[in-house]
Structure formats: C-alpha cells, structure tokens
Amino acid sequence: MAAKLEGIDRHALLLAAAAAWSLLTLAVGALWTAGAVASPFGTNDPRTGEVGSYLEGLDPEHTGVVAAAVGLAGLLTAVAMWGAPGRLWPAVPAVALGVLLLVVVPDARVIQNFAYLFFAYTGLWDGALGAQVVAIAGGFVWMAAAATRPAGGVSWFIARGEPRWAKAAAYTAAVLALPYAVVRVSWALGIPLGTSGEGLDEWSGLERLGVALVFGGLPTIGAVLTIGLVRRWGERFPRWIPVLRGRRVPIWFAVVPGLLAATMIIQMGLRFTPGTALDIVTAEYAWSDWGASLPGLFILPWGIALTAAVYGYAVRRLHRDAADVPLGREPVPSPEGTDSARPGRG
C-alpha cells in the first residue's frame, strides 16, 4: 500500500509540475502574441536556417500563438488526467505534448551548444536556445507524468517484460554511433576522409585534440555505454571503480543521461538525416565531400535505437528490482513469453 501511495504522490507531483509549466507557457505565448515581449523564434531568430528550425519564417506573433496553444493544450490535458484517473486516453495527448516539446520545438543548436561546452565556448547561446531548454524540460515532465500514470496498478507504458528487441536495439545504436566519430577522428589525425582536406592543415594541435576528444570521443564513449545497457556491468558497477565497486547501478543513473543523449541526437537527426537521404535518392548528393554530411544519415536511426535500448533497460531493471531478482537471473517468463513480475504503481 505504501508503494502505491508513493506512486500516486509522484504522479500528482509531476502532473502539477506539468500544469504549472503549461500555465507559464500560455502566459509567455500571450506576451509574445501581444508584442509585449519579443519572441526569440521565427524571423527574430537569425540562425533558423543553419540549425534546421521548424519555426523558420514565422512571424514572431505567430510563434506566440503557437506557444499559447501549447500551454492551453497542456492545461486541458492536465485537467483531463486529473478527472479521469485510470484511463488511457488522457495520457495520449500528454505523450504528444512530450514529443512536440522534446524533438519538434528544439533544433540542432541544442546538441551543438552541448558539444561546445567542452570547449568552454558559449558564443552561440541565444534566447531561442534558452526557450528550447525550457521546452525540453517541459517535454520530459509531460512524458514522466504520462509514464507514471497508474492503470490497474501498472503504468500504461511499462511492458510486462523486457522487449525481445532490446539487445538488438542497444547493439544497433552502438554501431550507428561510430560513423560520425570515425570521420571526425580521421580529420583530427589529418586524414581527409570524405573531403578534399582543404583547411585541415590549418588546424592547430589543440584544435585537433578537441575534435578528436569531443566529436570523436563522445560518440565512441556513448557507444560503449550503450552496450552496457545490455551487459552485467550496466547493472552493477565494475570492481575497478573506487567506492562504487560492486554496488547496484541506480536506474536513473543510466536512464536519465541515456534519454537526454537520445533526445539531442533525435533533434539533430530530424534536421539532417531526411535531407541527406533525399539528396542521395534524387542523385543530388555531393559524393566528393561525403565526410561532411553522409554520417548524418545514421544520426536519426541512432537516436531512435538508443531510445529503444534505454527503454528496454528501464523495463528490465524495474521488473528485476521489483521482484528482487539477483543479478544474472531473470524472472520466470509467463506462458505468453513475457516476465510475470511487474513493478508497482508508478
């Protein structure tokens, strides 16, 4: 009973946060529409074209209408979720809002500025980036509110057992992370892979090191950690890690950074993968300079595969922890081929 009450309280807290976020968005949208505060989007955003913003060309006032509509939709969804506990249909618009705020409103500048943080460079920070960070926060709150919604004692979105495709998704995501890293490391080493090499000789040693560590190292480290989602050391800290050695890895420790990374990757992939694929199909692709953009073909499927892998990890850990199953032993599968143990409410 205590676990159920804790789940209900957590759901109520998330729903209240989602409603508060929606009210704030409605108010900001009204201010943008009235012109009392300048919207950072649309024609007020000078970087829309280079970062693939879906709001390119919109009048600032129209972006305010969009923001107000999103805020109003959020408030109505929150009321519906409060008034119809145990029903699935109010969670559907909550997920739709989450997707909109996580990967439609934000553009490629989010992951771009994340990477530049490793160079201590903040010269591209602007109002649109700040608004997108707020949108991402709202998206995760809405997704969490939908995911913790109880339905017969179990969240609507938690499978009965780890999906059979979870391991394949993890290895696929790890492989898809490598093309971008390989090309960038090659450039850092002075190898003009997929490019004419013009300008590479002008890079300083520090620039080469930065490109290798950030644009090559981060995807590679991400690939290794993704494999950990389906390996023993992804559930219990390896012995070579001081202090934490042998301890169980908290679920959030893998899920939160995994979902953040997947979100940024999908944001970027939505802006570049379709365009690259279209250029190839229509024979308009510049193969002489493929190193600059062809790795982008793998970014969107990478993000989707990573999301699936993180989901599979979370489901497996929730069931295993709820059933208190020792590491290395799986819950007894049900006749339908799924795990019989299910986590508590929330």
**Lowest mean pLDDT segment, chosen from 172-181, 218-227, 316-325:** 316-325
**pLDDT grade for 8, boundaries at 50, 70 and 90:** very low
d(C-alpha 337, C-alpha 135), whole Å: 39
Tell me, what's the pLDDT at 336?
Answer: 40
Model confidence at 150, in pLDDT bands (50, 70, 90)?
low
pTM of the model: 0.87
* pLDDT per residue as tens digits for the range 261-311: 999 999 999 999 999 999 999 888 888 889 989 999 999 999 999 999 999
What's the chain look like in SS3? CHHHHHHHHHHHHHHHHHHHHHHHHHHHHHHHHHCCCCCCCHHHCCCHHHHCCCCCCCCHHHHHHHHHHHHHHHHHHHHHHHHCCCCCCCHHHHHHHHHHHHHHCCCCHHHHHHHHHHHCCCCCCCHHHHHHHHHHHHHHHHHHHHHCCEECCEECCCCCCCCCCHHHHHHHHHHHCHHHHHHHHHHHCCCCCCCCCCCHHHCCHHHHHHHHHHHHHHHHHHHHHHHHCCCHHHCECCCCCCCCCCCECCHHHHHHHHHHHHHHHHHHHHHHHHHHHHHHHCCCCCHHHHHHHHHHHHHHHHHHHHHHHHHHHHHHHHHHHHHCCCCCCCCCECCCCCECCCCCCC
pLDDT at 199: 84
Give the range among 82-91, 151-160, 222-231 with minimum mean pLDDT: 151-160
Distance between CA atoms of 271 and 316, rounded to whole angstroms? Answer: 32
Instruction: Please classify residue 12 by burial: count the beta carbons closer than 10 Å to its beta carbon, then call 0-12 exposed, 13-18 middle and 19+ buried.
Output: middle
Confidence of residue 341 (pLDDT cuts 50, 70, 90): very low
180-217: pLDDT as tens digits? 999 999 999 999 999 988 888 889 999 999 999 999 99
**How many other β-carbons are positioned within 10 Å of the β-carbon of residue 237?**
17
For the chain, the average pLDDT equals 88
- What is the arithmetic mean of pLDDT over 312-331? 72
Using pLDDT thresholds of 50, 70 and 90, give the confidence band for residue 326.
low
What's at 48, amino acid-wise?
Answer: T
Q: Is the pLDDT of residue 157 over 80?
A: no
